[in-house]
Structure 1
Amino acid sequence: MIKLLASDIDETLVDAQKNVPQRNIDAIKKAKDMGVIVTLASGRGTYELFDIPDQAGVVDEDRFVISCNGAIIMNIFTKEIVYSQSLKYDYAKAILDYAYKNEQTCYIYTLDNKYGINLDRDSYAENQITVLADNNIDFLKDAIILKAIIKNKDMNYLQGLEIDIASLTNYDVEVAYSSDMFMEVNAKGVNKAVALKKVCDHYGIDLADTLAIGDNYNDVAMLEACGTSVAVANARLQVKDSADYVTKATNEEGAVAEAIEKFILNK
């Protein structure tokens, strides 16, 4: 029996306008009414969640959201950070230096902000971002750094950079991809599956009794660890191959609701 549902946000729970489709909202409420715990598991920073948890109806006491691919677990009701695992400053600096030298868009995420260099036009439109004039981040030496991102809309090119990034960080990081344009670099051992296990342990729930839903490479570990895994119709091929079920609906059409209807509501 499924006791906990974990859903990715972008390209999974929300549509292109970053809103939660009504079909998903209705299905999540029905799952909650049956006693199922609903958790969001995202690559976003906690300050990038905006009103999505409220839209989805998951802001309740003793409920959590997984952010930055598992580097952060936050109590969604109190906004208390209950777990964090930081990326070494030297690794973040090496990635930023590499991006700066190669004129790549790069973000550094901390607990309460993100910093960016070589921003493209789309990046300037993002909320909660501090633009860096250069690659000097000495002011972050004592900060908790959660992840670094290199952005490029050519995924083949981006994946070709992985060997350089791995070498620069002594092969001591986790590299994943999301939204068809982000290389996400976290501390070794950080992924959504590890964070989901921590959330489950809090409730005394076995991973076998969880349902996870996602669309991209940074969801694969979570999908492989959970009891029932679902990829949305618009998911990457590798993600579909990792899942027990692929929805007919895309994120635009309420894919999360389809998963809930099939595996929780038994429709």
Structure 2
Amino acid sequence: MSKVFITDLDHTFLRSDLSISDFTKETWNSFADTHTLGVATARTYKKAEQFLKGLHINAPMILLDGSLIVSEDKKIIDTKIIEQDMADQIIDIGAQHSLYPFVLALKDINLNEAFLYPKQRNDYQHRLLERYIGDDNLEEKANIRAMKDNFKLVYMGDESELINLKNELYKVFGDELKYILAPEAYMDCYFLTLLHKDADKAHGLKKVNEYLNIDFKYYTVFGDNLNDIGMFELAGSSVAVANAHKDVKKMATFVSKHTNDEDAVAKYLRELIL
């Protein structure tokens, strides 16, 4: 029976320098003719496409923490959107704390994305934007506002100030939003991500399952962080890389002895071949 393999990107499939080794590429692509291969990531479609250049993907992609599901032929399968009015309310509340978000939004059905960033940004935001120099979807806004279809709003800052903002937003919106407060993987700060209440990788995996119509027992998922646990609960097999969060390892059916920098996903697949 053909199997389905879905991997997280950052700190699971990608190395810490955001590269993918030739060993991983060759191993992954060797499975493409007989199995179904996909990704589940917090990254945008544009960024995922850049990182996955030269890799075979023949399953729908779970993007932006499950806010966007895109078929292998670049058709939108599903979206979970924060409406413009609500997003603008969020921005106004953040501004009271002198915090201004990145806004990631959909421009059109052709998967053109907008990455809006505020003119009033902190040092963490400045540093993050250095990674995106050259991207054609960046738009600086002197008075940042939301667009019609917003996937997520992302604040960066110190843990304490983002906890205060999260608590204030929860008083206003309650369970109408999803709130993810976590350390930023590549910098010494935190980020607060705000999503549609139903946007997560578990939702995304269910949409992939509807599209493929393959029983979950044939799925293997790979991950490292807490936002991967929902997928672990659904899939027949789940693999935590060696550098995964301890709670992710507890949920996994297999814990790799290899980290993302040691090609953990590819080495697991090679073991299947052997």
TM-score range, shorter chain: 0.7 to 0.9
> 3-state SS of the aligned residue for 1:256?
helix
Asked if the contact 1:174/1:190 (under 8 Å) is kept, the reply is: yes
- Deviation, 1:6, is 0.7
- Conserved 8 A contact 1:249-1:255: yes
| Aligned residue number for residue 73 of structure 1 | 69
Partner amino acid, structure 1, of 2:8: D
- CA offset at residue 166 of structure 1? 2.3
Q: Please give the per-residue CA displacement for 1:213-259, whole angstroms capped at 9, x wherever unaligned.
A: 11122222112221111121222222222222222211111111133
Look up the SS of the partner of 1:54 in the other structure: coil
Partners of 2:116 and 2:98 lie apart in 1 by 15
Runs (5+) with no aligned partner, structure 2? 107-112
Q: Does 1:37 align with 2:36?
A: yes
- Contact kept in structure 1, 2:97 and 2:165, CA below 8 Å: no
The 4+ residue runs of structure 1 with deviation greater than 6 A are none
The secondary structure found in structure 1 opposite 2:6 is: strand
1:115 is aligned to 116
Instruction: Give yes or no for the alignment of 1:259 onto 2:268.
Output: yes
- Report what 2:56 is aligned to: 58
Change (3 A) 1:16 1:187: same
Write the letter of the residue equivalent to 1:46. Y
CA-atom RMSD in angstroms:
2.4
Tell me, in whole angstroms, the C-alpha distance in 2 between the residues paired with 1:103 and 1:252: 37
Amino acid aligned to 2:221 = A
Identity of aligned residues (%): 23
Aligned to 2:96: 101
The 1:156–1:20 alpha-carbon spacing in structure 2 relative to 1, beyond 3 Å, is: farther
Q: Which residue of 2 aligns with 1:14?
A: 14
Pair 1:176-2:175 in alignment: no
Count of aligned residue pairs for this structure pair? 255
| Cα separation, partners in 2 of 1:4 and 1:159, compared to 1, 3 Å | farther
Q: TM-score, normalised by structure 2?
A: 0.83
Q: Partners of 2:102 and 2:270 in 1: how far apart?
A: 37
TM superposition shift of 1:115: 1.2
| 1:1-267 equivalent positions in 2, closer than 5 A | 3-33=3-33, 35-55=34-54, 57-60=55-58, 63-76=59-72, 78-104=73-99, 106-111=101-106, 112-117=113-118, 118-119=121-122, 120-125=125-130, 126=132, 127=135, 128-137=137-146, 140=147, 143-152=148-157, 154=158, 158=162, 161-177=165-181, 179-180=184-185, 181-262=190-271, 264-265=272-273, 267=274
Q: Please give the secondary structure, in 2, of the residue aligned with 1:131.
A: strand
- Give the whole-Å Cα distance in 2 for the aligned partners of 1:104 and 1:242: 35
Specify the SS of the correspondent of 1:171.
helix
Q: Match for 1:92: what amino acid?
A: A
Q: Any idea what SS the aligned residue of 2:74 has?
A: coil
Q: Which amino acid aligns with 1:37?
A: T
Paired residues of 1:87 and 1:186 also in contact (CA < 8 A): yes
Contact 1:2/1:210 (<8 A) preserved: no
Unaligned runs of 5+ in 1: none
Q: 1:256 and 1:157, CA in 2 relative to 1: closer, same or farther beyond 3 A? A: farther
